[in-house]
Amino acid sequence: MSMENKIRYLTCGYCSTGCNMIIKFDDKGKPIVRANLDYPVNQGKACPKGFQLLSHLNVDDRATTPYIRDHENRFIPITWEAALQEFVGNFKRIQNNYGKNSIAFISTGQITNEEHAFLGALAKFGMGMIHGDGNTRQCMATSVVAYKQSFGWDAPPFTYEDLEKSDVMIFFGSNAAISHPVIWWRIQNNLNDPTVVVIDPRKTETATDEITSLYYPIKAKSELYLLYTIANILIQNNWVDGEFVNTHTSGFKEFKKHIAKYTLESTARKTGISEEQISKLAEIIHKGKAVSFWWMVGVNQAHQGTRTAQALINLALMTGNIGKPGTGPNSITGQCNAMGARIFSNTTALLGGYDFTKESDRNTVAKILGIDSGVIPHVNSASYEKILEKIKEGKIKGLWVVCTNPAHSWINSNEFPEIVENLEYLVVQDMYYTTETAQLANLILPAAGTGEKDGTFVNSERRIGLLQKVLDPPGEALSDFDIFNRVADTWGCSHLFKRWTNPESAFQVIKKLTKGKPWDFSGIESYQMILDHGGIQWPYPSSKNKKTDTYRRLFDDGVFYHEDGKAQFLYDDILPYPEEINQDYPFILITGRGNISTWHTHTRTGKVPLLARKLPKDPYIEISTTDAKNLGIEENQWVQVSSRRDKIKVKALIGGRVKEGEVFMPMHYKETNKLTFPIFDEYSREPGYKFAAVQVKKDFEPI
């Protein structure tokens, strides 16, 4: 394809910040990536991953053709036609032998809206699956459930402009300086001399950044004590916005009663934060004119994540910090299209935010899509970990994994290969044939990546952004969209997708699914319109009174989505630590992002020298100076880290980021999840990646 002299616009395919890049081409047709100066999200900025957005596309281990595993366990290249026959033949055989529900899919937050909707509709309406979930369960499920329960809809209220309008910002369980760098850098535009508070068990890059005013080194998993106590102090001092609470919320009286028992003295002990510091934080919140609470997976990935997120929501509600510039209980999303997955993945909710179990909802969706409502399942999917359980029990025998690498990223990951042993057929659709999960597959389908396809993403501030194709995918690789089209053809259900000829025509169909919902963006006329506006935030209904300003937040009218129009105060008793810390396993293992340049399971960033060099080749564990000294461990020494599940060998990185009694490993090494403890939040079923009991030793035991 000749692209010379053409300009392309590409929303970044890494994090959910949703930066936009301009791609120009040099004389030889080589693309040059620049940050888009005019885009309201990034305003000419980007992090290292964004600038390297196309660098992992042309590499040796790209899957450039479908591969099938032969009897000697070798991967053999085959044609698309043969691959599709294999896929469909095996999945249909499994359904014939074990029933319709014996096949399932696991997806992602990193494909486009059009692809999400296509996969979900194809799998559930075309191929007859009931069960399908995504890696967003590992990431955002807690925020989704927290908002749904508190507001009546999954509706993150903020806009990035709030980072510039707040005078108090509290970052809770978020290492934004490396996870969402451009969001974090937006605070530099804030002219209010804001107080930025970082609450994290680790003294992270965010905690030590020059933007940060105060750092609270909270003990891991003690945050509910802190948040309930602060609520209690606000009440004791009469620092509550009574008018807002009375008019716009419900459940406050009961909440007040529930939290009365959380006092400064015991909370200081539980959290490791002094009484003075706790009181000071309550006062900062009270004195702030526009206070915003920002959280991420340090909150979400916990055994009481939903209630923790809601404890932050409660603080915003009781102080009236919502719906006004610079305020909000604001959950930042993770992957480039995690928000789109929330609307279109057809996993937990029926496409567009409808309900599988309601006949009227099924009829509405069927009408919009122009299909028979009889093909839509009447029941909800099992959650991710329950799908794996069903595989273990032999109830699910065929699995289709799209754009995720669970053999590395799933909690207690040793189990994953054992679990998939029970499958009769595993299909993995990825850009590379080398991922840990692809290596377990019976069939690998070669997918195009961001930069090689058209479509749309939705970012953390609810902005729909455009991706334009810059390069052709290599060899026989196809966009996920095109793969779904071919699967539909081979399966014999392409009549359901007559209007889905290309991504933009699919967009025209799926936007209608949002009509009348809080995330209505049916007013977007075309891809060109998205480009012209610099992305468009939902809601953007087709009615005349749509708002067109650059930044928009929700709830400026104080009306929430519950039937009574009110937001709810939600809370629970605080549960003990998920796994016992004792003499044998005396340390708390925290896991998370390691640096600005490394992405998840490192399949993309690992191939770009400029990014890859940020992550040490050998897996490492961060341990405090005191603990290292007590254990006689020296810097860079190999140590053994064991949990109740496995033992691994890693290098010791000694220093001040972690406190005594806590250790940290980045999730980017496949060893990390061998140790994590499989516990799930009661409401969201999100895994608690950030707490496991471990032992660290300089002597090795036989493994």
Ligand X SMILES: Nc1nc2c(c(=O)[nH]1)N[C@H]1C(S)=C(S)[C@@H](COP(=O)(O)OP(=O)(O)OC[C@H]3O[C@@H](n4cnc5c(=O)[nH]c(N)nc54)[C@H](O)[C@@H]3O)O[C@H]1N2
Residues 183 and 186: their CA atoms lie apart, in Å, by 5
Verify binding: residue 181, ligand SF4, rule CB under 6 A.
yes
**Chain residue whose CB lies nearest ligand X:** 298
Torsion of CA 501, 507, 513, 518, to 10 degrees: 170
Nearest CB to ligand SF4, comparing residues 319 and 597? 597
Q: How far is the CB of 183 from ligand X (least distance, A)?
A: 10
Residues 150 and 538: their CA atoms lie apart, in Å, by 20
Residues 415 and 431: their CA atoms lie apart, in Å, by 24
What lies within 8 Å, CB to CB, of 554 at 6+ separation is 155, 156, 157, 323, 518
Residues 85 and 278: their CA atoms lie apart, in Å, by 63
Paired with 105 in beta bridges are 132, 400
Q: How far is the CB of 180 from ligand SF4 (least distance, A)?
A: 6
By a kind-dependent CB cut-off of 5 to 8 A, residue 172 interacts, out of ligand SF4, Mo ion, ligand X, none, with ligand X
Contact, 675 vs 641, CB < 8 A?
yes
Residue ranges in 19-48 that form contacts with ligand SF4 under rule CB under 6 A: 19, 42, 46-47
Contact, 263 vs 583, CB < 8 A?
no
Question: Cα 317–158–169 angle (5° rounding)?
Answer: 70
By a kind-dependent CB cut-off of 5 to 8 A, residue 19 interacts, out of Mo ion, ligand SF4, ligand X, none, with ligand SF4
Give the CB-side neighbour count of residue 25, counting CA atoms within 13 A: 14
Residues 245 and 292: their CA atoms lie apart, in Å, by 17
Residues 533 and 41: their CA atoms lie apart, in Å, by 12
Residues 254 and 249: their CA atoms lie apart, in Å, by 12
By a kind-dependent CB cut-off of 5 to 8 A, residue 676 interacts, out of ligand X, ligand SF4, Mo ion, none, with ligand X
Residues 90 and 84: their CA atoms lie apart, in Å, by 10
Nearest CB to Mo ion, comparing residues 334 and 352? 334
Q: How far is the CB of 604 from ligand X (least distance, A)?
A: 6
Cα distances (angstroms) measured from residue 434 to each of 60, 417, 437, 447, 558: 10, 15, 8, 13, 50
CB atoms within 10 A of CB 301: 27
Nearest CB to Mo ion, comparing residues 320 and 334? 334
Verify binding: residue 17, ligand SF4, rule CB under 6 A.
yes
Verify binding: residue 139, Mo ion, rule CB under 5 A.
yes
Nearest CB to ligand X, comparing residues 21 and 199? 199
**H or E element at residue 198:** strand 195-199
By a kind-dependent CB cut-off of 5 to 8 A, residue 432 interacts, out of Mo ion, ligand SF4, ligand X, none, with ligand X
Which part of the chain contacts Mo ion (CB under 5 A), choosing from 133-141, 276-284, 354-362, 583-591? 133-141
By a kind-dependent CB cut-off of 5 to 8 A, residue 46 interacts, out of Mo ion, ligand SF4, ligand X, none, with ligand SF4
Verify binding: residue 182, ligand SF4, rule CB under 6 A.
yes
Burial environment of residue 139 by CB neighbours within 10 A (0 to 12, 13 to 18, 19 or more): buried
Verify binding: residue 334, Mo ion, rule CB under 5 A.
yes
By a kind-dependent CB cut-off of 5 to 8 A, residue 199 interacts, out of ligand X, ligand SF4, Mo ion, none, with ligand X
Which part of the chain contacts ligand SF4 (CB under 6 A), choosing from 8-16, 84-92, 194-202, 529-537? 8-16
Kindly determine how many residues on this chain lie close enough to bind Mo ion according to the rule CB under 5 A.
Answer: 2
Verify binding: residue 49, ligand SF4, rule CB under 6 A.
yes
Q: How far is the CB of 59 from Mo ion (least distance, A)?
A: 23
**Chain residue whose CB lies nearest ligand SF4:** 50
Cis (ω within 30 of 0) for the bond into 539? yes
Contact, 116 vs 507, CB < 8 A?
no
x-or-dash string of contact with Mo ion, 284-323, rule CB under 5 A: ----------------------------------------
Among 14, 160, 215, 262, binds ligand SF4 (CB under 6 A): 14
Q: How far is the CB of 214 from ligand SF4 (least distance, A)?
A: 24
Residues 450 and 11: their CA atoms lie apart, in Å, by 9
- Tokens at 141, concatenated: 């499920």
Kindly determine how many residues on this chain lie close enough to bind ligand SF4 according to the rule CB under 6 A.
Answer: 14
By a kind-dependent CB cut-off of 5 to 8 A, residue 647 interacts, out of Mo ion, ligand X, ligand SF4, none, with none
Q: How far is the CB of 111 from ligand X (least distance, A)?
A: 5
Verify binding: residue 177, ligand SF4, rule CB under 6 A.
no
What lies within 8 Å, CB to CB, of 444 at 6+ separation is 63, 66, 67, 68, 75, 427, 428, 429, 430, 433, 438
Among 10, 15, 282, 513, binds ligand SF4 (CB under 6 A): 15
Verify binding: residue 10, ligand SF4, rule CB under 6 A.
no
Nearest CB to ligand X, comparing residues 95 and 437? 437
Q: How far is the CB of 284 from ligand X (least distance, A)?
A: 16
Residues 522 and 654: their CA atoms lie apart, in Å, by 53
**H or E element at residue 665:** strand 662-666
Binding footprint of ligand X on the chain (CB under 6 A): 15, 108, 110-111, 135, 138-139, 172-176, 178-180, 199-202, 204, 218, 220-221, 223, 296-298, 301, 334-335, 402-406, 409, 429-432, 435, 447, 449-450, 480, 590-593, 596, 598-601, 603-604, 667, 672-673, 676, 689-690
Residue 611 Cα to chain centre, angstroms: 21
Verify binding: residue 12, ligand SF4, rule CB under 6 A.
yes
Footprint of Mo ion (CB under 5 A): 139, 334
Footprint of ligand SF4 (CB under 6 A): 12, 14-15, 17-19, 42, 46-47, 49-50, 180-182
